[in-house]
Amino acid sequence: MKKTLLFCSIFLGSFISYSQHFQLESENAKSIKFQFDFEEKAFEYKEINGQTTIDFSKTFKILSQEKGAPALPLFHETIQLPEKGNPEIEITFDQVTIFENVLVAPSKGVIKRNVEPSSVASVFGSVYNSNAFYPSQVASLKTPFIWRSMRAAVVEVSPYQYNPVTKQLIVYEGIHIDVKTNTELVGINELYGQTDPVMKSIQQKTVLNPTIEKYAPVEESGSMLVIASPTLMEEIQPLVDWKNQKGIRSQLVSTATTGVTDTDIHTYIQNYYTSHPELIYVLLVGDDEDIPAHTYGMSGGENLFSDSYYGQMTGGDYYPELFVGRFSGTESNVTTMVSRTLEYEKNPFAGDWMEKAIGLGSNEGDGIGDDGEPDWQHLRNIRTVLMGYGYSEVSEFYDGSHGGEDATGSPNSGVILPVVNSGIGLFNYTGHGDVNLCVTGNFQSSHINQATNNGKYPFVISVACNNGTFTSGTTCISEAWTRATQNGTPSGAIGAAGSSILMAWAQPMQTQDEMAEIIAETYSDNHKTTLGGLFYNSQMSMLEEYPAGSGIEVMQTWVLFGDPSAQFRNKQTLPITVTHTGNVPMNATSITAACNVDGALVAVSQNNVLLGSAIASGGQAVITFPTLTTNDYLLVTATKQNYATYQHAVQVANGPLGVNELELAFEVYPNPANNELQVVVSNGTAESIRIIGLDGKVVLAKQFLNGTQETINSSSLEAGSYIVEIISGTQNVRKNIQILH
């Protein structure tokens, strides 16, 4: 039996639509009023112990997860709160519909991925003996949190309430929510006048004042702090130099400075963030014994080991202010990771490999996974999103037989590894796992170590148990991805995300879903291009949809191995053209660069110190910097996602250059060159010659034997950009060259 009761809405007026379910009605300094509407769907049913029950998992994305209690649909929205005060929530509604004599299926609770969901029995718990409606509130406000310089909270709405004794199911329609803040009372996680240039720059485009559309995305424009074990400082320095050249102001410190405990390191980052509010990225360089993972304590017999802890700067919450990644390993491992990252960002392997992906998934999770989907269906939906964006191939490797591009039967390493070797840009795994194992396909660390995908590096997102367990001397499969080499050169992955514990079933699937949407540029105001930007913004989406303990645990324990500032590639590499002056006087304070790619970041550095940067717009970028104090050459670098890197040197003179002030002149050819260079002095005589890498290191030096011409064997140089410098007395002159092999 169904009956409907109508109520008069207390809020009138026009609405501002900002998401599928929520509409802002009004707001002022102390009150936020909005309406919640949703599309009611026909019931789906399943049999439990011979009884017919309503199964909402087939029709709604998120269900309540209290074990043994009715599994009812939940909806979430994030709202901005006043900086101080205690928020409270009031609700009214337009209409209710009551269904009589129905039975709602109970939740199986939060299931970890070491358990097959179908093996867990559905149990009617003690809630089914209580003559009260569940949940007790139609809408509730979760604990306020701080994100950089904004205070916010998640509103949870349950439009269905169920009384198991009377067997009545109530559906509320046209729910009106008023969040009022009592500024006379002290609230949780209050703000105290923090300022944040990163937040200030994006509030207007991400916040519908004061309500946030979806979760509040963290922007990527900012600086980086690199913390390394003292034994790894030399190995990581080239990456720090590159980031400064690129335009990401980066500082390297050792644990001899920060301290070696998790508390010491967190305190150092906290103090650094306070004095450098533009900080966005933190890269930890070292294994757990070098830079310890933080533990949030024990849960279910496991230590909740975390790296995201190092990015939680404000408030007693788990929303990250910073993107944290880790290069875990020895000197040779870190050298591999640095080489791979420099290659990926500066000189990516040619071809369309970055437009291909893998979806590897189990046959389990129906009715338990996010959106009620089994793992394979979840990955097929992601495939649809990626293919719609422009991916040319997304391989379907699923347990069981599911048609489409999924082959009959279950996959194995013999079919997975060749696709990795041929080149992919993204690898999504969703299934059971262990420290060195993806159970679906029996894909192991040993297979990764056999990979020959040199130059073609995927970003690996693993929704599985223990794929990121790297503490206590353990080497996990995520570390194997980032440490892998073949024939002395990097193979493996540009980055890998894995859980340090037994992973929850549904929650991380939302992270994978959101990452696919961001990669596919579904949102006009949430375009992210870095590994950290993709991973942590997707995690924030998960934390909004699952704000309780299980979502928090996923945020705590999912570890990102790799450089969080590395720019993800998902399209074939395009050329970029930049033109600018080849020399400047010592009193120069700017360089204007013409650039054919708007949105490119153009930076000027000197001796690996970032002087200034600008975003190309209208075909040019004007980079301003302080007055120069040395005549060492300047380096102009231009980068943008999916474009080739541009780097060229600019000569600095002691004053405005005149016709006769620089007598020494030379030509170098061919340029680009392969194995041999000819250097011919056209004005003056040279004494010596040096070839300098863009990291400032001299890679070749020799005497200029006859003073006017020299042949240089360049076969030993790696492909890339270099500077040729000839020297005579007090003069030195430099030119850019390109080496091809």
Which of 254-268, 427-441, 607-621, 704-718 is predicted with the least confidence, judged by mean pLDDT? Answer: 704-718
**Torsion of the alpha carbons at 530, 696, 334 and 288, rounded to the nearest 10:** -80
Helix, strand, coil in percent for the chain, rounding step 5: 20, 35, 45
Residue with tokens 């206590």: 472
Q: DSSP letters of 558-602?
A: EEEEE-TTPBP--S--B---EE--SEE-TT--EEEEEESSTT-EE
On whether the CB atoms of residues 258 and 315 are closer than 8 A, the answer is no
pLDDT number for residue 27: 81
The active-site residue out of 465, 580, 595, 648 is 465
pLDDT the model gives residue 193: 60
Give the CATH fold of the 663-741 domain: Immunoglobulin-like (2.60.40)
Pairing of strands 634-639, 646-652: antiparallel
Amino acid (one-letter) located at 580: H
Topology of domain 2-212, CATH: Immunoglobulin-like (2.60.40)
DSSP conformation class of 239? H
CATH domain 223-562 topology: Rossmann fold (3.40.50)
pLDDT at 284: 98
Give dist(CA 327, CA 288) in Å, integer. Answer: 10
Please give the single-letter amino acid code of residue 710.
Answer: E
The percentage of the chain sitting over the pLDDT mark of 90, rounded to a whole number, equals: 73
Residue 737's DSSP bridge partners are 722
Instruction: Over range 145-150, report the average pLDDT.
Output: 85
The pLDDT of residue 195: 52
Q: What is the pLDDT of residues 118-144, one digit of tens each?
A: 999 999 999 999 999 999 999 999 999
Per-residue pLDDT, 722? 85
Predicted local confidence at residue 730, as pLDDT: 65
- Answer yes or no: 476 catalytic: no
**Residue 644 phi/psi, 5° resolution?**
-70, 150
Q: What mean pLDDT do residues 551-577 have?
A: 97
Q: Which residues contact 271 (CB under 8 A, 6 or more apart)?
A: none
Mean pLDDT for 429-450 is 98
| pLDDT computed for residue 20 by the predictor | 52
Tokens of 496: 């890998």
CA 498 to CA 437: how far, in whole Å? Answer: 11
Dist. CA 141–CA 157, nearest whole Å: 9
Considering Cα of 52, then 53, then 59, then 61, what sign does the dihedral take? negative
CA distances from 690 to 204, 265, 320, 686, 712 (A): 50, 41, 46, 11, 10
pLDDT of residue 15: 27
Give CA–CA dist 654/586, Å, rounded.
5
Starting at the edge strand found earlier in the chain, the sheet holding 609-615 runs 583-584, 646-652, 634-639, 601-606, 609-615
Tokens 């705590």 belong to residue: 556
Where do the structural domains in the chain lie, given as residue ranges?
Answer: 2-212, 223-562, 574-660, 663-741
Q: What is the pLDDT of residue 210?
A: 44
- Rounded Cα distance between 3 and 6, Å, is 10
Burial string for 444-455 (b: 16+ CB within 10 Å, else e) reads bbebbeebebbb
| pLDDT at position 525 over 50 | yes
Q: What is the layout of strands, in order, in the sheet containing 590-595?
A: 578-579, 590-595, 620-624
Cα 153 from Cα 144, distance rounded (Å): 4
When the pLDDT of each residue in the chain is averaged and rounded to a whole number, the result is 90
Look-up of token digits 């720090």: 240
Which two structure tokens, joined as six digits, stand for 91?
A: 């609700």
SS3 assignment, position 30: coil
pLDDT at 5: 56
Q: What is the pLDDT of residues 200-256, one digit of tens each?
A: 433 332 333 344 556 778 889 999 999 999 999 999 999 999 999 999 999 999 999
Neighbouring residues of 418: CB distance < 8 A, sequence distance ≥ 6: none
Q: Per-residue confidence at 654, pLDDT binned at 50, 70, 90?
A: low
Closest CA to 649 of 741, 740, 708, 732: 732
Examine the pLDDT at 663 and tell me if it is beyond 60. Answer: no
The pLDDT, as a whole number, for residue 239 is 97
Q: How large a percentage of the chain has pLDDT more than 70? A: 92
Q: Is 274 left (phi over 0), alpha (psi -120 to 50) or beta?
A: alpha
Residue of 76, 266, 402, 432 with catalytic role: 432
The structure tokens 């559309």 sit at 213
223-562 against 574-660: fold identical: no
Q: Where are the extended beta strands (E) located within 20-61?
A: 22-27, 31-36, 45-48, 51-54
pLDDT in tens, 7-49: 433 232 222 223 457 888 888 878 889 899 888 899 999 999 9
Q: What is the 3-state secondary structure (H, E, C) of 648-692?
A: EEEEECCCCCCCCCCCCEEEEECCCECCEEEEEEEECCCCEEEEE
Q: In whole angstroms, what is the distance from residue 675 CA to residue 711 CA?
A: 11
Name residue 576's amino acid.
I
Q: d(Cα 310, Cα 325) in Å, to the nearest integer?
A: 10
pLDDT range class, residue 1, cuts 50, 70, 90: low
Encoding tokens for residue 298?
């024990």
> 595 an active-site residue?
no
Domain 574-660 has CATH 2.60.40.10: yes
- Burial profile 699-731: b = 16 or more Cβ within 10 angstroms, e = fewer: ebeeebeeeeebebebeebeebbbbbbbbbeee
**Residue appearing with tokens 């020399």:** 583
Q: Which residue has the higher pLDDT, 382 or 41?
A: 382
